[in-house]
Amino acid sequence: MLIRRPHDIPSSEITPEDSYLNRREFIRKTAALGAGMAIAGAGLTAAATATAGGPQDKWRPKSPGPYDTDEELTPYTDITSYNNFYEFGIDKGDPAANSGSFKPSPWKVEVAGEAKKTGLIDLEDLLKPHTPVDRIYRHRCVEGWSMVIPWLGIPLADVLNRFGPTSKARYVHFTTVLRPEEMPGQKRSVLAWPYVEGLRMDEAMNPLTLLATGIYGKSLLNQNGAPLRLVVPWKYGFKSIKSIVKINFIGTQPKTTWELSAPGEYGFYSNVNPEVDHPRWSQARERRIGEFFKRKTLMFNGYGEQVASMYSGMDLRKNF
Ligand code: MTE
């Protein structure tokens, strides 16, 4: 995700995201090492330092999900402080720093378009018939970093089915709230506001797709897309639209925010695909936040068994 377009910046000026992350991780690890050594010197044990963490220390999934990964979870502090949410600014720390005045409650969602039931619904009523589940998913950003996040949410299909989408509903279009007074980034024309995203109907109905309300069993913080966001773990993170106020069943493939912003770089499908590079960087590897060395990126972010059949016969280089 970049603000300045490629034609605005000479390539000599671009710091690849991974070198930037590399530096950040290096600084973090060495700082941690320094702190650890100081504590060891003071005669304390390493265990004494581990209690300073967040809700992850006590957290266990209530009901393990069928597609959960058993990889190490990303600490809550990283998930809530290293964010992309351009409505609050373009730097990774901006969403946590600038979202304090955002009001995620009360909240209404408009359900519209090709469905038997449509209208404005209170968030509580949207969620009430469902029991939220814990789902531990890999989260891969198009910029080359990744996390493992224990989401709390409801399978999107369960929610959508209640509205009775008709046979004309071939796509679902999502819209983020527009509140420039609470979201300072919306006062700048970095992107076309409000942020919009879309999924094909079968993608929206896939059991992996979640409407998330929390992380580590706690309600979403503003920087993570409170009170309601999408999670589509086999796609790059930008498909996972935050702070949703509208769900629209439509017949034709919609344009999405990043596609509108840079059509040569971001397509509608945006499936994680290590074989198709971003025009300006490779997608073959990724850096898991908290780790120093890069790892290989997996096709469909490792969820091929659950999703590959939806794209059989499609040229994924063209439909990137
Ligand atoms: N949704 C909105 N409304 N605005 C955004 O800027 N950023 C996207 C996505 N959803 C974004 C958004 C991107 S690029 C990513 S990687 C994920 O949110 C980041 O989610 P996280 O901050 O919870 O990791």
Reported as a single tens digit per residue, the pLDDT across 235-294 is: 999 999 999 999 999 999 999 999 999 999 999 999 999 999 999 999 999 999 999 999
Q: Is the CB of 245 under 6 A from ligand 1?
A: no
Q: Is the CB of 224 under 6 A from ligand 1?
A: yes
Output the residue whose Cα is nearest ligand 1's atom 22.
83
Among candidate residues 215, 172, 203, the one with its CA nearest the CA of residue 54: 215
Distance CA 258, CA 238 (A): 8
In the chain, domain spans: 6-311
Quick count: other Cβ atoms within 10 Å of Cβ 41? 8
Among candidate residues 242, 91, 272, the one with its CA nearest the CA of residue 178: 242
Separation of CA 34 and ligand 1 centre (Å)? 32
Among candidate residues 80, 23, 94, 75, the one with its CA nearest the CA of residue 290: 75
Reported as a single tens digit per residue, the pLDDT across 2-23 is: 654 444 433 433 444 444 444 4
Do 197 and 203 meet the contact criterion of CB atoms below 8 Å apart?
no
- Percent over 70 (pLDDT), the chain: 84
Q: Is the CB of 176 under 6 A from ligand 1?
A: yes
Output the residue whose Cα is nearest ligand 1's atom 16.
237
Q: What is the mean pLDDT of residues 309-319?
A: 97
Reported as a single tens digit per residue, the pLDDT across 41-97 is: 333 333 323 334 678 888 999 989 999 999 999 999 999 999 999 999 999 999 999
Hey, what amino acid is at 135?
Answer: R
User: In the block, which residue shows the tokens 């971001």?
Assistant: 266
Q: Is the pTM of this model over 0.85?
A: yes
pLDDT for position 1: 72
Output the residue whose Cα is nearest ligand 1's atom 18.
238
Q: Which residues of 204-243 are buried (b: 16+ CB within 10 A; e: fewer)?
A: bbbebbbbbbbbbbeebbbbbbbbbbbbbbbbbbbbbbbb
- The angle at the Cα of 269, spanning 301 to 108, to the nearest 5 degrees, equals 95
Pocket test for ligand 1, best of 211, 228, 242 (most atoms within 8 A of CB): 242
Please state which CATH class domain 6-311 belongs to: alpha beta
Distance CA 200, CA 139 (A): 20
Q: Tell whether the model's pLDDT for residue 202 goes beyond 80.
A: yes
219-to-80, 117, 152 alpha-carbon distances in Å: 12, 28, 8
